[in-house]
Chains A and B, each alone.
Chain A
Amino acid sequence: MTTDAPATRIGDDEGRGSAGPPAGLHVKHLLGIADLSPDDITLILDTADAMKEVGTRAIKKVPALRGKTVVNLFFEPSTRTRTSFEIAEKRLSADTLNIAASTSSVTKGETLADTVLNLEAMSPDMIVLRHAASGACHLLSRICRSRIINAGDGMHEHPTQALLDAFTIRERKRRIAGLKVAIVGDLLHSRVLRSNLLLLPKMGAQVWVSGPATLIPPGIERFGVRATWRIEEAVEGADVIMMLRIQRERMKGHFFPSAREYFKIFGLTAARARLAKPDAIIMHPGPMNRGVEIASEVADGPYSVILEQVANGVAVRMAVLYLLAGEVATEAMPA
């Protein structure tokens, strides 16, 4: 293992100790970082440490979720997140099912609520939901028996992304508290931003956000962060720079004139990256628009942890699935 976090090696019976089953999360669903306490977050990150080790084994499997059914219900296209969840579920020995919106009854006019209730009638244990509408998971949590994991709801939250971001930061920097984290890009439309805005200050980081004035969310001061359209101010002395994706459709809403001008003023060039601390790490949730929000040389450079984020995503999602399953996983897990 790569951190000093308390060792909970999955499959190691001694790890459970005499206190009985490990402390679980006190939430039934993972709808957002908003519902998690700092202790919850630490528990998830510590569990993810142990899960990361599973990925290094020859047989990348533990039976924690054996016999459980997990449905990946994705109403928005996704490669990265869906694959990550699927691999995580399979490594925990769950039976997984992928449903994409284009093939679902939604095209026949069925409501979201009915689609999920019909699914539920077949007794899945957990539903991983990605949807274009903010609050879609909240709607379902009111009508579902299954545990719901939010894989991204509209512009609201993407909690597992923020958790894997935190894991990556903690792994590289040994801590989160006291770090200066700069988040740059289309802040207004980003659920990754909102989840990180909830998580990072909770864990003691000092957060700066930056982007064109047109894309800074109203009321940003109330999130306990510093906001500036001058990217240089945000990245100066930063320990972590997190870049967010720019969608070209935003040019239609008059948010910024062109990709060319965006890159000139707000893009993370090598020069701007040098304003940060010498050992600063560069992050991006992906997919990247090279040459728009980030220069290739930075994205591919030695300080970029973008691909590590992807690897960590599997471990973090395994941790979330494992902890939410809680009492579902009753047996000790052999190595």
Chain B
Amino acid sequence: MKTLFRGGRVVDPANGIDGRADVLIDDGTIARVGRDVPAGDARVIEVPAGFVLCPGFIDMHVHLREPGQEHKETVATGVAAAVAGGFTAVACMPNTSPINDNAGVTEFILGKAAEADLARVYPIGAVSVGSNGAQLAEIGELREAGCVAVSDDGRPIATALLMRRALEYTGMFGMPVIDHCEDPTLKADGVAHEGYHASALGLRGIPAVAEALMVERDVTLAELTGAPVHIAHMSVRGSLRAVRAGKARGARVTCEVTPHHFVLTDEALAGYDTNYKMNPPLREAADRDAMIEGIADGSVDAIATDHAPHHYDEKHVEFDVAPFGIVGLETAVPLALDRLVHAGHIGLSRLVELMSVNPARILGVPGGSLAPGAPADLTILALDHPVVVDVATFRSRSRNTPFNGWTLRGAVAVTIVGGRAKYVNPVVTGLDALKGRPSAVVREP
């Protein structure tokens, strides 16, 4: 089954392409990308102006909550949210119940993903058994079962010694250790960024150095061991400084920033809406601006959402008591297009690097490129289409987002995984040839 997307703008920085090109897909893989590709017996889809074809976006930091917390999200609803958000693949964190520290849980997750048959799922295994920081998990077995990285996310990797050994050990398998960088004693019982706004609102503060100090530790250990470390959800300029310095010294360090950390600041806390409560917390404007600068100048490697679904009941409580986290899969692309691309900070090539090329490279998974033979995973953007964020349309089981009602410019039009359209945005017109195809639509179980 061949499909030819003809005449659209293709942005494929891994292969130096940004311009009008045709994309020929054959049976789930990219056959050819170029000008005036002959259609042959392929089904031809004319791509109108305003659409951009990119290698499929990969969200390397999501929480799918299954097994154990299915009231928040399941693998099925999570991957439905992913394709609706333009993601062809996600990497899911191990802080499920039970924790993904063994092949059994990894295989369970992969089984659910195969059943849902929407976005690809790459499990991230735990660094330590139960993520309790006391004993290494069987990382070799996790790798064999299908994990692409390890992390104790939700918590920092507990001690410098454990981090060192984890880097050395995991490095053998060519996988990165992903750290949620935070000194637990400095974070203590904080719930918001330590600064003027937390002081005014009477909220216990989490100082920026709680993150930056741990980033320094990890960068130094990555340098010592020569093994790769990836800094999860970086939020403060002190961390970025440490990452830049480490990279300059040749350390194998990469980092990601979430959309909420390049859009929002702690000023949003007034009113105590728990949809502004996450960890790391929303920081001050100078940090948010530094994240944008890092995104633009290449110091930041990836945009990842830290998609953290929570049930309404859990969030509809006092700020102190509410769990940290917001969903992100279904708002990431419009936020990135509106606040980074249309705002003039970066071009589309850079965006594709941040959301496809680099995540694929860091995790060592296929994708990030439309070279012949690559999987036919595509994210098709409607570059100028307006989006009004509406939680009623979310595929995610949870609704905990601060962006409900926001008007943004730039939408996901189509998400294609393995050559099949897994999501076609009902409000975007122009690629109607793809509608009515037997693309998988998730029904709530």
Whether the Cβ atoms of B196 and A134 lie closer than 8 Å is no
**Alpha-carbon separation in the docked complex, A111 to B204 (Å):** 21
Q: Which of B252-260, B312-320, B399-407, B433-441 is the contact stretch? A: B312-320
Q: Please give me the residue from chain A that is nearest to B316 by CB atom.
A: A113
Q: Does A257 contact B (CB under 8 A)?
A: no
Tell which of B196, B272, B316 touches A218, judged by Cβ atoms closer than 8 Å: B196
Distance A112 CA – B316 CA, assembled complex (angstroms): 9
Cβ-defined contact, B202 with A191, below 8 A: yes
Q: Is the CB of A194 within 8 A of B202?
A: yes
Q: Name the segment of A150-158, A275-283, A287-295, A310-318 touching the other chain.
A: A150-158
Is A133 at the interface (CB under 8 A from chain B)? Answer: yes
With beta carbons under 8 angstroms apart, the residue of B202, B271, B313 that contacts A155 is: B202
Question: Does B195 make an interface contact (CB < 8 A)?
Answer: yes
For B199, list chain A residues within 8 Å (CB). Answer: 188, 217-220
The answer on a CB contact under 8 Å between A111 and B316 is yes
Is the beta-carbon distance between B321 and A133 smaller than 8 angstroms?
yes
Asked if B201 is at the interface of the complex by the 8 Å CB criterion, the answer is: yes
- Interface code A130-161, partner B: CB below 8 Å = 1, 0 otherwise? 01111110110000000000000111110000
Question: Is B392 among interface residues, defined by CB-CB distance under 8 A?
Answer: no
- Does B388 lie at the interface of the complex (its beta carbon under 8 Å from any beta carbon of A)? no
Residue pair A131, B200 in contact (C-beta under 8 Å):
no
Bound Cα distance from A131 to B272, whole angstroms: 14
Q: Which partner residue on chain A sits nearest B191 by CB separation?
A: A134
Do residues A131 and B202 form an inter-chain contact, with CB atoms below 8 A? no
Cβ-based interface call for B198 (8 A) = yes
B200 cross-chain contacts in A, Cβ below 8 A: 194, 219, 223
Closest to A216 in B: B199
Q: In the complex, which residues of chain A have a beta carbon less than 8 angstroms from the beta carbon of B196? A: 218-219, 222
Q: Is A253 an interface residue when CB atoms closer than 8 A count as contact?
A: yes
Contact residues in A for B318 (Cβ distance below 8 Å): 112, 131, 133-136, 139
Please pick, from B197, B198, B319, the residue contacting A133 in the complex, using a CB distance under 8 A: B319
What separation, in Å, do the CA atoms of A133 and B201 have in the docked complex?
11
Q: How far is the CA of A184 from the CA of B292 in the complex (A)?
A: 41
Judge if B367 is at the interface, Cβ distance under 8 Å: no
Residue B134 lies at the interface, judged by CB distance under 8 Å to chain A: no
Docked complex Cα distance between A191 and B200 (Å): 10
What's the least CB distance linking B36 to chain A, in Å?
59
Give A220 to B195 CA distance when docked, in angstroms.
9
Nearest chain A residue, comparing its CB with the CB of B321: A133
Closest residue of B by beta carbon distance from A143: B316
Cβ contact within 8 Å between B203 and A134: yes
Please tell me if the beta carbons of A134 and B316 are within 8 angstroms of each other in the complex.
Answer: no
Classify the secondary structure of B's interface with A: loop
**Across-interface contacts of B271 in A (CB, < 8 A):** 138
Q: What distance in Å separates the Cβ of A47 from its nearest Cβ neighbour in chain B?
A: 27
Is there a chain A Cβ closer than 8 Å to B179's Cβ?
A: no
A6 to chain B, nearest CB (A): 33
Q: In angstroms, how far is the closest chain A Cβ from the Cβ of B194?
A: 5
- A214 vs chain B, min Cβ distance (A): 13
Contact B202 A113 (CB under 8 A): no
- How many chain A residues sit at the interface, stated as a range, is 20 to 34
Distance of A139 Cα from B273 Cα, bound (Å) = 8
Q: CA–CA, A191 to B199, complex, Å?
A: 10
B205: chain A residues within 8 A (beta carbon): 218
Which residue of B has the minimal Cβ distance to A187? B199
CB distance from B212 to the nearest CB of A (A): 16
Report the Cα distance A136→B272, complex, angstroms: 9
Q: Contact partner of B319 among A135, A218, A222, CB < 8 A?
A: A135
Question: Does B188 sit at the interface, judged by CB under 8 A?
Answer: yes
> Separation in Å of the A194 CB from the closest CB of chain B?
6
| Residues from chain B with Cβ under 8 Å of A133 in the complex | 318-321
| List of B residues within 8 angstroms of A194 by Cβ | 200, 202
Q: Tell me the A210-233 residues at the B interface (CB within 8 Å).
A: 217-220, 222-223
Distance A135 CA – B276 CA, assembled complex (angstroms)? 13
CB of B151 to closest CB in A, whole Å: 29
Residues of A within 8 A of B188 (CB): 253
Q: Which chain B residues (171-221) contact chain A, with CB distance < 8 Å?
A: 188, 194-205
Return the CB mask of B313-336 against A: 1 if under 8 Å, else 0. 100111111000000000000000
CA distance A157 to B272 in the complex (A): 13
Known: A138-B272, A218-B195. A153 touches B316 (CB 8 A): no
A135 and B201 contact, CB distance less than 8 A? yes
Task: Determine the residue in chain A with the shortest Cβ distance to B314.
Answer: A111
Q: Given the known A-B contacts A155-B202, A194-B200, A194-B202, are A218 and B194 also in contact in the complex, defined by CB atoms under 8 Å?
A: yes
Check A154–B195 contact: CB distance below 8 A: no
Shortest distance in angstroms between A104's beta carbon and chain B's nearest beta carbon? 15
Known A156-B202, A218-B194; judge A134-B317 contact (CB<8 A). no
Q: Given A134, A218, A223, which contacts B320 in the complex, CB threshold below 8 Å?
A: A134
Q: Provide the residues of chain B in CB contact with A155, threshold 8 Å.
A: 202-204
- In the bound complex, what is the Cα–Cα distance between A157 and B270 (angstroms)? 13
What's the least CB distance linking A251 to chain B, in Å? 15
Cα separation A220 to B194 with both chains bound (whole Å)? 12
Contacts of B317 in A (CB 8 A): 111-113, 139
Contacts A133-B321, A139-B318 given: A156-B201 contact, CB under 8 Å?
yes
Which of B194, B316, B320 sits near A154, CB closer than 8 Å?
B320
| Bitwise interface map of A from 253 to 270 toward B, beta carbon under 8 Å scored 1, else 0 | 100000000000000000
Question: Which A-chain residue is minimally distant from B194 (CB atoms)?
Answer: A218
A188 to B201, CA, bound (A): 11
Docked pose: A313 CA to B327 CA in angstroms: 46
Q: Could you say which residues of chain A place their CB within 8 Å of the CB of B194?
A: 218
User: How does the 8 Å CB contact mask read for B385-420 relative to A, with 1 for contact and 0 for none?
Assistant: 000000000000000000000000000000000000
The proximity string for A residues 105-117 relative to B, scoring 1 for CB distances below 8 Å and 0 otherwise, is: 0000001110000
Task: Report A78-122 residues with CB < 8 Å from chain B CB.
Answer: 111-113
User: Which residues 198-252 of A have a CB within 8 angstroms of B?
Assistant: 217-220, 222-223
Contact of A134 with B272 in the complex, beta carbons under 8 Å:
yes
Note all chain B residues with C-beta closer than 8 A to A223.
200
**19 additional contacts, CB 8 Å, given A134-B319, A156-B201, A194-B202?**
A111-B313, A111-B316, A111-B317, A112-B318, A113-B316, A133-B319, A134-B202, A134-B272, A135-B202, A136-B318, A139-B318, A139-B319, A153-B202, A155-B203, A188-B199, A191-B202, A218-B199, A219-B197, A223-B200
9 A/B residue pairs, CB under 8 Å, sorted by A: A113-B316, A133-B318, A133-B320, A135-B318, A135-B320, A139-B272, A156-B201, A217-B199, A220-B199
5 interchain residue pairs of minimum CB distance: A219-B196, A135-B272, A156-B202, A155-B202, A133-B318
